[in-house]
A and B are shown apart, each in its own frame.
Chain A
Amino acid sequence: MTTKLFGEPVRRREDPRLLTGQGRYLDDLGGDALAAAFVRSPHAHARIRDIDVSAAIDVDGLVAIYTWEDLPALLAQPLPLLIPHPALTHGRTAHPLARDLVRHVGEPVVMVVARDRYLAEDACALIRVDYEILKPVVGVEEAAQSAQLVHGDVPGNVGAHLVQEVPSAAGLGAREAIETAPHTLAFRLDIERSASMPLEGRGVYARWDADDRSLRVYTSTQTSTSVRMAIAAKLGLPLPKVEVIAPDVGGGFGVKIVHPWPEEVLVPWAAILLDREVKWAEDRREHFVSSAHERAQVQSVRVGFDDDGRVLGLEVNILHDHGAYTPYGIIVPIITSTQLLGPYKIGAYRVEFSSIYTNTVQVTPYRGAGRPQAVFCMERTMDHIAAHLGADRTAVREVNFIRPDEFPYDQGLIFQDGRPLIYDSGDYPESLRMLKELIGWDSFPEAKAQAAAEGRRIGIGIGCYVEGTGVGPYEGGHVQITSDGRVHVSTGLTSQGQGHETVFAQIAAAELGVPLERVSVVTGDTRRFGYAVGTFASRAAVMSGNAIALACRKVREKALRIAADALEAAPGDLEIVDGEVRVLGAPGSSIPLATVAVLSNPLRYAFDEEAARATQFAGTSAFDRPPVEEGQEPGLEGRDYYSPLRSTFASGMHAAIVETDPLTAEIRILRYAVVHDCGNLINPMIVEGQIHGGVAQGVGGALYERMVYDEHGQLLNASFMDFLMPYATEIPRVETAHLQTPSPLNPLGIKGAGEAGVIPVSAVIASAIEDAEGIGIDRMPISPSDLFDLRRASTGRSTSET
């Protein structure tokens, strides 16, 4: 392989179009389409008595108004429950348009289609919905105790309840292990709601071809293949007559993996019914109240440990707020429960969660997907232990680490993919050593004393995590070399800014020995690749990357076989360099891949001079064999799939130094350091970018972002004015170091990198603030006023001290 592309910081191939305004995001398509808009519930919990559309009928440009009663039988059903689980005994999903009850502010009630969006919204404003207002259930602890029910047939508002327990090596249960431990601690942690909040909202654009009876749908999704199946099923169309394409997508971060959204089935349905193109692009307010949130949990922790801080038993009880519906099942609390163990060997572990209904927007994965909560819990626990013992926080972690020679390490739990939680590889002590060096952990006490002498408060914090990435079941890749020498790669999963067009091209170019410029990559277009799962769980590089590599290997093998015939050499004596098959050690003997592609497809008709070489009188075919041999196919192409035995586990450790203002309680991050291990790196520039972006979202979650619901179930901060996402001025420069422990599970030895940056940030910042202030931090995010209140409440330190 002469083309050294794998592992290089190759510049992104998607950038020229995105930098010149030539990207094509959902709302850039369908300039002539009709526009849809929705009347959404202003109440968190209400019964619909009546819908009066009469005042809207005369709006200029109005085309149609639909309510639940207009929907055909299949569409009138609740939307699918995507991930069933035996513990989800009371899973509930919404109807595409509310049937008679609304269960959160923002739930769609009426769909309006009009000539443009302004007019559609005019009509929406004139539609009168008469509601009988019911008492809403807000707040996870309130909901768990409330007599008031979100769903009348779900007792106690409990959607799911799951206990997982791993005994100690000596066979002790967690409770017993804790009771018999030399030291025990118990505490409670609170994590607020946040959300993915991509800058491009959701959107759907549907084109129905009445002559062909086929439907093409563009949607800003993380899974076009699955949306396609959902649409075909919901609209009763034959699957081959439906194609779904994810165009350029302006960020996803989890929220766009949920599907089908009401709009994803309603907009295509209306397009067919009206025989017109129809489009809906979500606005920001809609995104806040009708998409999905994440993070909210209340955790109760009990831990028992020895004099060195070794954890002997850990018991965690989680109350998880999943909002009004559970379309994505209980993936988030399952991930929290299983990833909580991080890089540690825990003596005995018991985790129990209840997933609770509230009259709020549904909760589905947001980058990190339950792991930030898990890491907050485990790392706060480690800090509690260290404080209790008066030990260094890194020493307590060190003593609990899984050692490098203990891999594969079985945590004894079942992971989110339904398969055993077995860590494949890693080197946690080395990671910690690198982190301490990068941040200057050991010399920090002097810096802190120095700052104190100047009247400043600074603190250092740390957080470690392990992240299960690259979950199955599978992804596929298709690679075709055409007779012009171009290489066309496709995979079914979708892209939202991760640079897949670049990294997959790097893989293909390196595997095939062709120049990068010749490779083009298509993702998320069911016309090109119909089988896929989607982009989530940091799985794209691992899953599609390996599938594409395997497909390339098939194509390469075929190319060598055909070229061997043409060059009268053995396939083993050939190499591919710069798009040419060459005989090793015989520089004159070569054949371009373009020609091999021609020869791979025996022709009757010539459409150009190159093709003429493969026609039936060109004298290239042997008379003793059929033109296409048994077991072979025409064309220089290959398709393969990668289906892993189980997930591969990336890991990392972050540290931060923060400064808190003695008077205003303002919190500033002075330094932020990351040691990251995602196995072999395909493109270090892109991996760094993923880390930067993740850390920034983590900082948002640690210091600024929260969804504020009042007791009526109204989201009080549903705008960028009030939901505070960090700007450049709030984000520290991230210092990174990479450790590479390749995954033994996949051919490329890679692990996922997409979510890592965000996972430990809340834990790290809490740890650092605690160190600066000497006050326990047990909830996130923490704002200056929260810290101010904590100072006042803390007995150890009064504000007058400042």
Chain B
Amino acid sequence: MNIAITLTVNGVVRQAEVPGRRLLSDCLRHDLGLTGTHVGCEHGVCGCCTVLLDGEPVRSCLTFAVTVDGHDITTVEGLAAPGGAMSPVQRAFAECHGLQCGFCTPGFLCTVTALLRDNPAPSEEEVLEGISGNLCRCTGYQNIVKSVHRAAEIMAEES
């Protein structure tokens, strides 16, 4: 039996009819066509599927779509400015080579976006702590850490 839900995704009101067991990750990817959110483990460990739920990072693979009916969701597709200009976090990742295969990247971008909103000038420790729930198998994290600091810098320059 399908349940009708309404979500605001990246500022746009979207509707879907989903079974109760539909994961939010699958709903975003397959029902709404937003395939930028990736699924690396489906058991809540890798962080690839991280999206912002009412601004806070959550694992969309551990969230049933029906439980977020009426809520606001931001995915990687919604991080750039409406005109398409990449956000400071996205630009910093490009500048610092913070991604290789790019599979983990959407999760990191969402996590870091929330991290820097709450703490615009994090220390090294705070950055490590902040991204310590996301796995990356390619980069060895060094350039991701660098990207986070650089994003903070860009945000400070532009504010």
Establish whether residues A15 and B134, one from each chain, have CB atoms under 8 Å apart when the complex forms.
no
Interface check A589, CB cutoff 8 A = no
| Across-interface contacts of A28 in B (CB, < 8 A) | 29, 35
B136 to chain A, nearest CB (A): 7
Q: A16-B86, A19-B86, A727-B135 are contacts. A199–B35 as well, Cβ < 8 Å? A: no
Are B45 and A198 interface neighbours, CB within 8 A? no
A202 to chain B, nearest CB (A): 13
Contact status B80-A15, CB under 8 Å: no
A11 interfacial by beta-carbon distance below 8 Å: yes
Task: Evaluate whether A199 and B135 lie within 8 angstroms (CB atoms) in the complex, with A12-B97, A250-B103, A251-B103 already known.
Answer: yes
Contact B102 A728, beta carbon cutoff 8 Å = no
Q: Which candidate, A169-177, A495-503, A789-797, is the interface stretch facing chain B?
A: A495-503
Residues 2-51 (chain A) with a chain B CB within 8 angstroms: 11-12, 14-16, 18-25, 27-28, 31
Chain B 108-152, CB within 8 Å of chain A: the 1/0 string? 010000000000000000001101111111111111110000000
Chain A 736-762 per-residue mask, 1 if CB under 8 angstroms from chain B, else 0:
000000000000000000000100000
Determine whether B56 belongs to the interface, using a CB cutoff of 8 Å to chain A: no
Residues of A685-724 at the interface with B, using a CB-CB cut-off of 8 Å, are: 685-686, 688-689, 691-697, 719-721
Minimum CB–CB distance for A37 against chain B, Å:
13
**Interface contact A692-B109, CB-CB below 8 Å:** no
- Minimal Cβ-Cβ distance residue in A for B130: A728
- Whether A729 touches B140, Cβ cut-off 8 Å, given contacts A22-B36, A250-B101, A283-B42, is no
Q: Which residues of B (1-54) have their CB < 8 Å from a CB of A?
A: 19, 21-22, 29-30, 33-43, 45-46, 48
Q: Which residues of chain B are near A692, meaning CB under 8 Å?
A: 139-143
A198:B101 contact, CB within 8 angstroms: yes
Contact A728 B131 (CB under 8 A): yes
B105 at the interface (CB under 8 A from A): yes
Interface size in chain A (residues, C-beta < 8 A): 55
Known: A18-B105, A31-B30. A725 touches B137 (CB 8 A): yes
Q: Does B67 lie at the interface of the complex (its beta carbon under 8 Å from any beta carbon of A)?
A: no
Give the docked Cα–Cα distance between A731 and B132 (Å): 11
- Cβ–Cβ contact A727 & B132, under 8 A: yes
In the complex, the answer to whether A731 meets B141 with C-beta atoms within 8 Å is yes
Chain A residue at minimal CB-CB distance from B31:
A31
| Interfacial chain B residues near A728, Cβ < 8 Å | 128, 131-132, 134, 136, 141, 144-145
B58 interfacial contact with A, CB 8 Å: no
Are the C-beta atoms of B103 and A200 separated by less than 8 Å?
A: yes
Contact residues in B for A696 (Cβ distance below 8 Å): 139-141
- What number of A-B contacts does a CB cutoff of 8 Å give? 168
For A198, what are the chain B residues with a Cβ–Cβ distance below 8 Å? Answer: 101, 103, 137
Q: Which of B22, B39, B95 has the most CB of A within 10 A?
A: B39
Does B66 lie at the interface of the complex (its beta carbon under 8 Å from any beta carbon of A)?
Answer: no
Quote the shortest CB–CB distance from A295 to chain B (angstroms). Answer: 16
Count chain B CB atoms within 10 A of each CB in A283, A498, A689 and give the residue with the most.
Answer: A689
On whether the beta carbons of A12 and B29 are closer than 8 Å, the reply is no
Q: Are B138 and A251 in contact, with the CB atoms below 8 A? A: yes
By beta carbon, the residue of chain B nearest A116 is B30
Residues of A near B38 (CB, < 8 A) are 25, 199-200, 250
Tell me, rounded to whole Å, the shortest Cβ–Cβ distance linking B116 to chain A: 16
Does residue A191 face the partner (Cβ distance < 8 Å to B)? no
Residue of B at shortest CB range from A29?
B35
**Structural contact, A497 and B138, CB atoms closer than 8 A:** yes
- Given the known inter-chain contacts A20-B80, A199-B101, A284-B41, please indicate yes or no for A727 contacting B134, CB distance below 8 A: yes
B73 within 8 A of A: no
B106 at the A interface (CB under 8 A): yes
Interface flags, A666-691, vs B, CB<8A=1, else 0 = 00000000000000000001101101
Whether A15 and B77, one on each chain, are in contact in the complex, defined by CB atoms closer than 8 angstroms, is: no
B99 at the interface (CB under 8 A from A): yes
* Alpha-carbon separation in the docked complex, A573 to B59 (Å): 62
Q: Is the CB of A729 within 8 A of B132?
A: yes
8 Å CB contact of B103 from A25, A720, A721, A727: A25
Shortest A144–chain B CB gap in Å is 32
Cβ-neighbour of A693 out of B41, B100, B103 (below 8 A): B100
- Given the known interface contacts A19-B90, A27-B39, A731-B142, the answer about A253 and B99 at a Cβ–Cβ threshold of 8 Å is no
State whether A21 touches B93 (Cβ < 8 A). no
**Does B60 sit within 8 A of A, measured CB to CB?**
no
Q: Report whether A21 and B35 are in contact in the complex, using a CB–CB cutoff of 8 Å.
A: yes
Q: CB distance A686 to B97 under 8 Å?
A: yes
Kindly provide the distance from the CB of B19 to the nearest chain A CB, expressed in whole angstroms: 7
Known: A284-B42, A720-B46. A15 touches B99 (CB 8 A): yes
Residues A497 and B102 in contact, CB atoms below 8 Å apart: yes
What's the nearest-Cβ distance from chain B to residue A196, in Å? 8
- Assuming the contacts A18-B99, A728-B132, asked whether A23 and B40 have C-beta atoms less than 8 A apart, the reply is no
Inter-chain contacts of A63 with B (CB < 8 A) = none
Q: Is B43 a contact partner of A284 (Cβ separation < 8 A)? A: yes
- On chain A, the residues within 8 Å of B128 by CB distance are 728-729
Residues of chain B with a CB closer than 8 A to A21's CB:
34-37, 75-77, 106
Looking across the interface, which residue of chain B has its beta carbon closest to that of A731? Answer: B141
Which residues of the partner chain B approach A498 to less than 8 Å between Cβ atoms? 100
| Bound complex: CA A692 to CA B147 (Å) | 14
Interchain CB contact under 8 A, A19 and B129: no
Question: B129 → chain A, closest Cβ, in Å?
Answer: 7
B18 CB, min distance to chain A CBs, angstroms: 10
Residue of A nearest to B90 (CB): A19
Does A197 sit at the interface, judged by CB under 8 A? yes
- Complex interface: chain A residues within 8 A of B133 (CB): 727
Q: Does A248 contact B (CB under 8 A)?
A: yes
Tell me, in angstroms, the Cα distance from A283 to B77 when the chains sit together.
Answer: 24
Knowing A689-B97, A693-B139, A728-B131 touch, does A199 contact B104 (C-beta < 8 A)? Answer: yes
Q: Are A19 and B99 in contact (CB under 8 A)?
A: yes
Q: Whose C-beta in chain A lies nearest to the C-beta of B101? A: A497
Residue pair B94, A19 in contact (C-beta under 8 Å): yes
List residues 483-510 of chain A with CB under 8 A from any CB of chain B. Answer: 496-499
CB-CB < 8 A to A16: which residues of B? Answer: 86, 94
**Nearest CB of chain B from residue A685's CB, rounded to whole Å:** 5
A734 touches which one: B39, B79, B109, B142 (CB < 8 A)? B142
Contact assessment for A734 and B102 in the assembled complex, using a CB-CB cutoff below 8 Å: no
Given the contacts A11-B95, A686-B97, A728-B131, A199 and B40 also touching, CB distance less than 8 Å: yes
A118 within 8 A of B: yes
Q: Does any Cβ of B come within 8 Å of A527's Cβ?
A: no
Q: Would you call A388 an interface residue if the criterion is a C-beta within 8 Å of the partner chain's C-beta atoms?
A: no
CA distance A87 to B133 in the complex (A): 46
- A249 in contact (CB, < 8 A): yes
Across the interface, which residues of A come within 8 angstroms of B131, CB to CB? 727-728
Flag if B90 contacts A20 (CB, 8 Å): yes
Bound state CA distance, A31 and B26, in angstroms? 11
Residue in A closest to B36 when the chains form the complex, CB atoms: A21
Query: In the bound complex, do residue A693 and residue B39 qualify as a contact, i.e. CB atoms below 8 Å apart?
Result: no
Contacts of A694 in B (CB 8 A): 140
Chain B residues with CB under 8 Å of chain A are: 19, 21-22, 29-30, 33-43, 45-46, 48, 75-77, 79-80, 86, 90, 93-95, 97, 99-106, 109, 128-129, 131-145
Closest 10 CB pairs of A and B: A21-B36, A497-B101, A250-B103, A18-B102, A696-B140, A692-B140, A28-B35, A497-B100, A720-B45, A21-B76
**28 A-B residue pairings within 8 Å (CB atoms):** A15-B102, A16-B86, A16-B94, A18-B99, A18-B102, A19-B90, A19-B93, A21-B77, A22-B36, A31-B30, A118-B22, A199-B103, A199-B104, A248-B102, A251-B101, A284-B43, A497-B100, A686-B97, A688-B97, A689-B140, A689-B143, A692-B139, A695-B140, A719-B41, A725-B135, A725-B137, A728-B132, A729-B132
A residues with a Cβ closer than 8 A to B are 11-12, 14-16, 18-25, 27-28, 31, 116, 118, 197-200, 248-251, 253, 283-284, 496-499, 685-686, 688-689, 691-697, 719-721, 725, 727-729, 731, 733-734, 757
Question: Apart from A12-B97, A19-B102, what 11 extra A-B contacts exist at CB < 8 Å?
Answer: A11-B97, A20-B79, A21-B35, A21-B77, A250-B40, A498-B100, A692-B143, A720-B41, A727-B133, A727-B134, A733-B142
